[in-house]
Amino acid sequence: MRHDPASTPTPAMVSTAFGLLPTSTVLAERSAPVGRARGGRALQGVPYVVWWDQELPPSLADICLRRDRPGIAYGDERPQDRCRGVLWARMSGKRGDGKAVFPALHPGRQRAAMWHLLCQVCNGPASRTPEGWLFLFEKPSGPTEDMPDGPGPDWPEGVRTRQPPVCLTCAPIARDHCPHLSGRCVAVRAQAVRRAGVNGALFQPAGFGVAQVESDLALIFGAEGIRWLLGSQLLVTLHSTTRVDLDRELARGRRR
């Protein structure tokens, strides 16, 4: 069946907006170059979690009212279509189709990487030491929607992010090639990573069907209304965090 762009919702799955999240995000830069692929093969250097523009989101016709309780569903829903009860955005196509679009994240690959704490660049195991898993941030220099007074002295304790961790092999690549991290990269290890909620598009009943009312909304698990959210990114919060020297971490890793 031909995909009709006019009937396609515009959820956060293909959005560059950060919604209710802190602006301290990893590997996401609006000015980053666009990767290209031919014959379905992804160019080296495009992170695993990045969305490619020929991976198409579901159309509004695919989303319907849930029959057993209030909320949204797919007419041909499968068990893997939900994450902790939240309907998840399906994407057609495969990685490497078309152009890589930075900093948009692919819903399925982002969810898998965050759920299993895999490296968002290579999809291998993320770096973990007794101090925790490794994340890279641009430290926010001023107020954000989550931090209206700017980062406090305990930042990044409790910070919420949609960006999965990285491994030691990929960490310097991310630091050196992402313009927003250049000179402002903060490496953080977190002993506890808690699945906190979902970012996505919000729907509501409309006649015998549904209509999209928000394109980029973050809700915590258990929040009223989350059953009406089409999830595109799994959110976590970081706890027992420690800022670390990335060069020292890399040197220590080479000695092992």
Domain ranges of the chain: 8-56+63-255
Which pLDDT score, from 0 to 100, does residue 53 have?
92
Region 1-21: mean pLDDT is: 37
Higher model confidence: residue 23 or residue 115?
115
Question: Which three-class secondary structure string do you get for 190-250?
Answer: EEEEEEEEEEEEEEEEECCEEEEEEEEEEEECCCCCHHHEEEEEEEEEEEEEEEECHHHHH
- Per mean pLDDT, which range of 34-43, 115-124, 130-139, 198-207 is the poorest? 34-43
pLDDT digits (tens, 9 = 90+) for 83-125: 999 999 999 888 888 988 887 899 999 999 999 999 999 999 9
Instruction: With beta carbons less than 8 A apart as the criterion, state whether 26 and 135 touch.
Output: yes
The one-letter amino acid code at 168 reads L
Decide if pLDDT at 60 tops 90.
Answer: no
The one-letter amino acid code at 4 reads D
Which pLDDT score, from 0 to 100, does residue 44 have?
54
Higher model confidence: residue 197 or residue 37?
197
Which pLDDT score, from 0 to 100, does residue 102 have?
80
Region 212-230: mean pLDDT is: 95
Decide if pLDDT at 1 tops 60.
Answer: no
Quote the CA–CA distance of 183 and 23 in Å, as a whole number: 16
Quote the CA–CA distance of 124 and 170 in Å, as a whole number: 10
Which pLDDT score, from 0 to 100, does residue 22 have?
30
Decide if pLDDT at 240 tops 90.
Answer: yes
Which pLDDT score, from 0 to 100, does residue 91 have?
92
Which pLDDT score, from 0 to 100, does residue 46 have?
84
Which pLDDT score, from 0 to 100, does residue 138 have?
85
Tell me the pairing of strands 132-138 and 128-129: antiparallel
Instruction: With beta carbons less than 8 A apart as the criterion, state whether 100 and 42 touch.
Output: yes
pLDDT digits (tens, 9 = 90+) for 181-191: 777 889 999 99
Quote the CA–CA distance of 51 and 239 in Å, as a whole number: 28
Which pLDDT score, from 0 to 100, does residue 4 have?
42
Region 138-144: mean pLDDT is: 78
Distance of CA 165 to the CA centre of its chain: 11
- pLDDT bin (cut points 50, 70, 90) of residue 256 is low
HSE, side-chain direction, 13 A CA sphere, residue 198: 29
Q: Please give the mean pLDDT across all residues of the chain.
A: 82
Q: Percentage of residues in the chain with pLDDT exceeding 70?
A: 80
The pTM assigned to this predicted structure is: 0.81
Decide if pLDDT at 245 tops 70.
Answer: yes
Which pLDDT score, from 0 to 100, does residue 139 have?
77
User: DSSP per residue over 21-79, as a string?
Assistant: S-S--SS--TTSPPPB-BTTBPPTTS-TTEEETTSPPPPGGGEEE-SSSSSEEETT--G
Which pLDDT score, from 0 to 100, does residue 47 have?
87
Residue 224: CB atoms within 10 Å? 7
Decide if pLDDT at 27 tops 90.
Answer: no
